[in-house]
Chain A
Amino acid sequence: MDASMISPFVNAIQNVFSTMFQLPVEIGDPRLKTDRKATHDVSGIIGVSGEMVGTIVLSMPMEAAQSIVTLFTGMEFEETSDDFADAVGELVNMISGNAKAEFQRKGVSISCPSVVLGEGHTIAVQSGTPCVLIPCSTDCGEVVLEVALREAEAEVSDDVSAAA
């Protein structure tokens, strides 16, 4: 994956966390993620389609997620409540939308968010799509952004060559 695909996500998480609840985010060294196991036990997931395809995951340990959701909403929610999932979903939605805007491409769409809770859950990524893990350090704990994106054209040319 091109490094230029990563910086919009770095800017986006810093922008969303600082604008919505004044939480600074320190970015660690991005690395390739090779397994499907979720990094932490709370995952907010967005699908990307159109000119670019893939998934964006905001993965957080439960304790960090609870602190961040409390900062974001001004309220404390049970981890099993719809409100908790809604807040996590809205965070990954804003991060993805913000990053997408930096690409300035008309033909990229993001899905409505999904949220998965539970230790050791797995998230399937399309084969052949590299996933880059961006570690983020905050006063609420360590969270990660997992970006698995590729150009849709590559998929088309693969199909064409497979058909040839």
Chain B
Amino acid sequence: MKILLIDDSKTMRNIQKSVLKQLGYTEIEEACDGQDALSKIGAFNPDLCLVDWNMPIMDGLTFVTTFRQTNKTTPLIMVTTEAEKSRVIEAIKAGVNNYVVKPFTPDLLSERITETLAKCSAGA
């Protein structure tokens, strides 16, 4: 299982990485914004992406919209401080499969990752 973490905060990537490692996922690539992610995604070919919303250069929503033009299936989880219902709806319309609001506990993030992977593999 290959996972791409997209967040401009190294602190947040490290926290997410530690949760993923506890879940047994060790093939992890990191990107610091949407554009960096798009440049790495072809070669890395992830099975799941965790993507922040507010990032410099290219934000998470633009990344999701761009990525979904060519890839409809790879699961995407938005992990963000944007908690308004309108934002969640906007992200889901753009193509995310699940949504985690920061701050989160390790348990909540684990739960959402497991749930997303189960749903997406059942639907595949």
Contacts and interface: CB of A to CB of B under 8 A. Distances in A.
Contacts of A82: 10
Interface in A48-84: 72-74, 82-83
Q: Is the interface of B mostly helix, strand, loop or mixed?
A: loop
Contacts of A83: 10-11
Q: Is the interface of A mostly helix, strand, loop or mixed?
A: helix
A10 to B, nearest CB: 15
Contacts of B81: 93-94, 96-98, 100-101, 110
B35 to A, nearest CB: 14
Interface stretch (B82-90, B91-99, B113-121): B82-90
Contact of A112 (B8, B11, B82): B8
B28 interface: no
A73 B84 contact: no
Contacts of A127: none
A16 B103 contact: yes
In the complex, which range does the number of interface residues on chain A fall in? 20 to 34
Contact of A86 (B11, B83, B101, B102): B11
A96 B83 CA distance: 11
Given A94-B103, A104-B85, A106-B84, A72 B11 contact: yes
Interface of B: 8-12, 14-15, 18, 54-56, 80-87, 101-105
Interface of A: 15-16, 19-20, 72-74, 82-83, 86-87, 89-90, 93-94, 96-98, 100-101, 104-106, 110, 112
